[in-house]
Amino acid sequence: MTAANPLLQVQGLTKRYGDRIGCAGVSFDLYPGEVIGVVGESGSGKTTLLNCLSAQLEPSEGSVIYDSRSKGPLELYSLSEAERRLLLRSEWGLVRQNPRDGLRMGVSAGANVGERMMAVGARHYGEIRGRAGHWLQQLEIDAERIDDRPATFSGGMQQRLQIARNLVTEPRLVFMDEPTGGLDVSVQARLLDLLRGLVRDLGLACILVTHDLGVVRLLSHRLLVMQKGRVVEQGLTDQVLDDPQHPYSQMLVSSILPV
Amino acid sequence: MDVLLRIQGLAKSFTLHTQGGVRIQALAHLDLEVSAGDCLALVGSSGAGKSSLLRCLTGNYLPDGGSIRVRHDDDWIELVGAKPQTVLELRRRTIGYVSQFLRVIPRIPTLDLVIEPAVAGGAGRPEAEARARRLLQHLNLPERLWSLAPATFSGGEQQRVNIARAFAHPYPLLLLDEPTASLDAENRKAVIDLIEDARRKGAAIVGIFHDAETRSAVATREISLVEGRAAA
């Protein structure tokens, strides 16, 4: 019933660190506009998987095929380093847990957003500033703060700035690593609400790594549950959370503290 | 009348790995057909499998075996073993579900929550909003609450938001899990009217109605479940 081709096809993805396994035998397809949540405890291989998928860490085995806007399906690890970096800048976004890792703290908020546009060829100052302003506003950052450095922002604002920086180039695929990780619950709710609206309105596909099952219930269509580097269960988000099949998924779900 | 839902040999069990691998058989050997214009009431004691059946029908629980076929436009779609994308597509346009609890993203205003399923089902924004306003009005939810997120609402108010969401799109198949549980007589009546109206327009409805008055007002037939099986 899904007419579109998968945006990302992952086959047998494995990453070994010596004789230790980072992730092993991971396979799934991601369709345009779809959000997949990856859950599991720390050390389950979520971040290794995310790094392999986003062309930052070369896997030991397996393939990742991305259906690019410009050139059609590409096998990531047959590309040159420069081609991979171009993809990351032009068609993808990468939101890190700690906004300090994804932002340049020494330049203004506007420059953090504008820089990404320049990296894909924008040159007109007025236009760059205009679009930067628009994206700050989309992420509910006051336009008056455009010339301030992110170091003067709260944690929640920094995270929203990092997301603005990623969305300004209109990516089709965004990778997020614990995007609500270090934030207060009230700030988290606001960010989730924003993210959900943006994902829906922009038709973004998203791979969201988190250990927070509440976040995936609200944001993701499908879930992958990882344990010791392997996907032990995958399916529709509410089905996996309400009727988990694997012992490990059952343990994760039953460990949530009721509010 | 047209059959819209066909269940054959449905079985569902739970294996509780965290509790010593205890196995609970929730549903077994269940056969059912529901047609347009039918409202089938599931009756049976607590634990008989009524809610589990509804959850299997909306793709929330994973059946062990058997078949659940749903008419989706002019096709029959098999829900048992369906891909997540297929289940989501069915939920967008064909299967509406009212659970006993409202589970939505925090901070979203009530009106938007009711508009959302109408838009997802294919209505234009103005039409979706008009429908949402009509429904909230019909369900006697004070207009001053529409711009607020329902987190702080009373149980009965939240339940009515839930019901409004399920009737915001004309789903051909409606699954209702105690839709009138926490409502007073006046609001029960408002919900009964919605159910009756949907049924007369050709929806196939399967529901759990604890309250006998509601059940006798809406049900066209009943099936009694005993330990997950249809009792004669």
Please answer whether residues A91 and A8 qualify as being in contact, where contact means their C-beta atoms are separated by less than 8 angstroms.
no
Please give the CATH superfamily to which domain B3-103+171-230 belongs. Answer: P-loop containing nucleotide triphosphate hydrolases (3.40.50.300)
Contact at CB, A242 and B60, closer than 8 angstroms: yes
Q: Which of A2, A239, A254 sits opposite B85 (nearest CB)?
A: A2
- What is the reported pLDDT for A2? 47
B40: which strand partners? B206, B221
DSSP string of A4-23, one letter each residue: SPPSEEEEEEEEEETTEEEE
Mean pLDDT of A77-82: 92
Residue A163 parent element (H or E): helix A155-167
Total residues found in chain B within this entry = 232
Q: Is B86 on the interface with A (CB under 8 A)?
A: yes
Helix (H, G, I), strand (E, B) or coil at A156: helix
Q: Which of B59, B89, B107 sits opposite A190 (nearest CB)?
A: B107
Contacts with A189 from chain B: Cβ below 8 Å: 105-107
Residue B133 identity: R
Per the listing, tokens 């709710």 go with A189
Q: Which of A189, A196, A254 sits opposite B18 (nearest CB)?
A: A254
What part of A 189-228 touches B (C-beta under 8 Å)?
189-190, 192-193, 196, 217-218, 221-222
Sign of CA dihedral A48, A51, A57, A63: positive
Of B15, B26, B23, residue with least CA distance to B66: B26
Please answer whether residues A116 and A168 qualify as being in contact, where contact means their C-beta atoms are separated by less than 8 angstroms.
yes
- What is the reported pLDDT for B103? 77
CATH code linked to domain A31-212: 3.40.50.300
Please answer whether residues B194 and B163 qualify as being in contact, where contact means their C-beta atoms are separated by less than 8 angstroms.
yes
Helix (H, G, I), strand (E, B) or coil at B35: strand
Q: Which of B14, B17, B107 sits opposite A247 (nearest CB)?
A: B17
Mean pLDDT of A102-113: 92
Domain ranges of chain A: 31-212
Mean pLDDT of B135-142: 97
* φ, ψ dihedrals at A245, nearest 5°: -100, -40
Q: Using CA atoms, how far apart are residues A141 and A133, in angstroms rounded to an integer?
A: 9
pLDDT in tens, A167-212: 898 899 999 999 888 777 777 777 887 888 888 888 899 999 998 8
pLDDT tier at A1, thresholds 50, 70, 90: very low
Tell how strand B204-208 and strand B39-43 pair up: parallel
Of B40, B45, B54, B27, residue with least CA distance to B229: B27
Q: Using CA atoms, how far apart are residues B22 and B59, in angstroms rounded to an integer?
A: 23
Q: Of A107-121, B88-102, B164-178, which has the strongest mean pLDDT?
A: B164-178
Write down the mean pLDDT value for chain A.
90
Contact at CB, B106 and A193, closer than 8 angstroms: yes
Q: Using CA atoms, how far apart are residues A184 and A181, in angstroms rounded to an integer?
A: 9
The ipTM value here is 0.93
User: Looking at the predicted structure, is the pLDDT value of residue A3 above 70?
Assistant: no
pLDDT in tens, B163-195: 999 999 999 999 999 999 889 999 999 999 999
Q: Using CA atoms, how far apart are residues B19 and A251, in angstroms rounded to an integer?
A: 10
Per the listing, tokens 């703060």 go with A145
Q: Which range among A134-138, A239-243, B76-80 shows the weakest confidence by mean pLDDT?
A: A134-138
- What is the reported pLDDT for A57? 93
> Among all residues of chain B, which has the CA nearest to that of A34?
B85
